[in-house]
Structure 1
Amino acid sequence: MITASFTIARGLGPLPRMLEAARGAPAVARVFHAEGVPIEIASNQHQKLPLRSLMALMERGAREVGDDLFGIALGGAMRPEDFGPFARYMLAARDVRSLLARSTRAITYHQSGTGFSIKVSNDLVWWGYRVVEPISIGRRDHIDHILKPMLNGLRRYLGDSWVPSRIEVEYGRPKWWRELEDVFRAQVFFDMPTNAVVFEKRLLDRLALRPIPLGQLITGRDLRQLVAERPPRTQAEAVREIIRLRLLDSIVDIDGAAILLGIGPRTLQRQLAGENYTYRELVEQTRMERALALLRETAEPVTAIALSLGYSEIASFSRAFQRWTGFAPSRYRCRSGP
């Protein structure tokens, strides 16, 4: 049983850059440190992280900047390529109907705990987005951040001047609701069952107005990457992703991992035991995977690799590496090549 939903780090988009531009580099450090997420994740876009962490970073960013529309600004600043192969697959659709259908299929490869939906009633279509996991912090900012790219995606088929019939959101009406309507260029309905862009049914067969640039066309490699980035489906897989994430800060303690998963350390240990793992085993496996990759693919000194994996002494790393592979780290590097 997996206890947390996951997404891809590229979903952060320009959040670090926006924070730095508005409040400086210390603000970026404050926001990421407060959430326990390594700031290095901004340059590791293939890394997975809990959806709750992504949403919390958005809310903390909004508070730091003092902007109630921060989520919308973030979503509006994101280009299709910022979402990776998931978005390119969607936008390669021939028409609006196919775009919506692709969104419902592809979202499970980008993140878990969310979903797109399509509802047709009379002359209207509801293209909905929902967050299944009961996450409260950052929920509104995250919803705003998704709705803007949804609108931008539809405008590839319907034109830049097109406006929806209305926007529906699950959250209550805020004080700045008129500003929301100005940004969305449509009436917004609050306290609705889901979050949706609502438009006329007759538009479903509209073809793309702008051809996708060659550099953005979906390829077989992109599709393989999309499948490879699928969110974890077991608790052991989820813990491995948390360990990979926290190794960006060279830390691997179980308490911090449990916090990011939204559970207690004992609960985490019990869940892993149910899958025949211990936390220590997963740390060892993940460290070994990372050590082998660094020794094969980089010229980074062995001492630096040991420190990056959370070892306080190179001797401890060397003993562990000898146990894993039968070789000393330097000997393994000589055999494998840089």
Structure 2
Amino acid sequence: MHQTGYTRASTLGPIADVVTAAGGSIGRVFRRADLPLGLLEAPDTLLPLRDHFRLLMVTSRELHDEVFAVRLGRQTSMAGLGIFGRWVAQAPTLLEAIHRAGTSLPHMLQNATQLVVRRHGSEIHWSYELTDPARDGRRQNEMLAIWYMIAIVRHFAGACWLPSRIIFGDLPNRLRCPIGELTCTDTAIGNAASAIVFDRRLLTAVNPNLGQGDGLTASELGRIFDLPDPEDLPGRLSVLIQLELLDRRPTLSRIGNRSGLTRRTLQRRLSEVGLSYSDLLRNALQRRAVRLLCQTDRSIGDIASVLGYGDPAHFSRAFERWSGTAPTRWRRLPESRVRAETNGSPLRIKSRTDM
């Protein structure tokens, strides 16, 4: 199976607004990138970094704009980064925020990535470094990541703050001026990783909103470590299944193609750990069903259709078989039960009957 990192859909920022404002078609962009448009409404959904890269590359081509990701990045904010953004924004100082960002990024938001701080005299170089091997769209991704890092510093230094300079690794010289004009700061080209550079004294900047926000809840903390390990084949396949479920009920062949494994190899490797493709699909359907029931006002019929059932009755029977509760009654469960069932922990399966 192809080795890859993973990221959350929230890292795409307000991509639909930016594409539409530029006269592009967000629907066409997602079709060409072979990704479900439902990602726009599911910011916590994981997707392979290579798919994230490809979407940014396709968007850049759609808009005929080589620095599209800089325009997108200028409209990003900490709020768009969900739990990760909240955790970092609650740090008492910028130094602690940078530490939190670096240590929690691979678990909360995006793995195969490092945020590294290096001191050069009176300057701090804060770099974004990738270990994922995918190349297509990588440059656009780095442009976007740099702006998220700027957003973190701005939380402490003020909304108009800019780094003394931005370094982009492996950047064509023709893009230096356009990026400099958009960023309103000095842009340099380097051989190392992309980074922002600022005065080291800024590290002691105090959080202006210190004490105003609440800490993370137990259920939020429970979701921190849900990015799959590189050696966790079922976890990695589950990411692909859950991604596909935003658009269609995925077939074994489709998931095999996306994972780079033949149908036979995929089945064999799952069998070696006592699982089958049906097990993974069932669990993904159950998770999505519970999420839709608890976090949306969609009708039972609409949810049944989204999950690929021919009619609401079929879905209701399947839901009750594995949960012991009808979907309409599930929605009336106490809030504490809802949080416990949807915080990312494995669901309790009462039946092995396929949904």
TM-score (norm 1): 0.83
Distance 1:14-1:296 versus aligned 2 partners, 3 A rule: closer
Moved more, 177-186 or 60-69: 177-186
User: CA-to-partner distance for each residue in 1:114-159, whole Å, 9 max, x for gaps?
Assistant: 1111112333322111121111111111100111232233234344
Aligned counterparts of 1:41 and 1:136: Cα–Cα separation in 2 = 22
Q: RMSD across aligned C-alpha pairs, in angstroms?
A: 3.1
- Equivalence for 1:231: 227
User: Percent identity at matched positions?
Assistant: 26
Tell me the residue number matched to 1:175: 174
2:165–2:188 Cα contact (<8 Å) kept? yes
**Secondary structure of the equivalent of 2:174?**
coil
Partner of 1:169, secondary structure, is strand
Does the 8 Å CA contact 2:30/2:37 hold for their aligned counterparts?
Answer: yes
Using the alignment, how far apart are the partners of 2:203 and 2:38 within structure 1?
41
Q: Contact between 1:85 and 1:218, CA under 8 Å: does it hold in 2? A: no
Q: How many residues align?
A: 328
Partner of 1:61: 59
CA distance in 2, matches of 1:238, 1:119: 33
User: Cα–Cα, structure 1 residues 290 and 191, in superposed 2: closer, same or farther, change >3 Å?
Assistant: same
Q: 1:314 to 1:116 in 2, by over 3 A?
A: same
Contact 1:168 1:197 in 2 (8 A): yes
Structure 1 residues 228 and 162, CA gap change in structure 2 (3 angstroms): closer
Q: Which amino acid aligns with 2:149?
A: M
For 1:115, the equivalent position in structure 2 comes to 114
**3-state SS of the aligned residue for 2:150?**
helix
Unaligned stretches of 5+ residues in structure 1: none
Structure number with the bigger relative contact order (C-alpha 8 A, sep ≥ 6) is 1
Displacement after TM superposition at 1:58 (Å) = 1.2
More helix by share: 1
The one of 239, 242, 254 aligned to 2:240: 242
Amino acid of the residue matched to residue 231 of structure 1?
A: L
Question: CA 1:196/1:34 → structure 2, altered by over 3 Å: closer, same or farther?
Answer: same
Task: Return the offset for 1:262.
Answer: 5.1
- Provide the C-alpha distance between the structure 2 equivalents of 1:154 and 1:335, rounded to a whole number of angstroms: 46
SS at match of 1:19: helix
Structure 2: gaps spanning 5 or more residues: 333-355
Aligned pairs for 1:194-233 within 5 A: 194-208=193-207, 210-211=208-209, 214=212, 217-221=213-217, 224-225=219-220, 227-229=222-224, 230-233=226-229
> What displacement does 1:42 show?
0.6
The 1:265/1:185 distance shift into structure 2, 3 A limit, reads farther
TM superposition score normalised by structure 2: 0.79
SS, match of residue 326 in structure 2: helix
In structure 2, what is the equivalent of residue 278 of structure 1? 276
Q: Which one is further off, 96-105 or 178-187?
A: 178-187
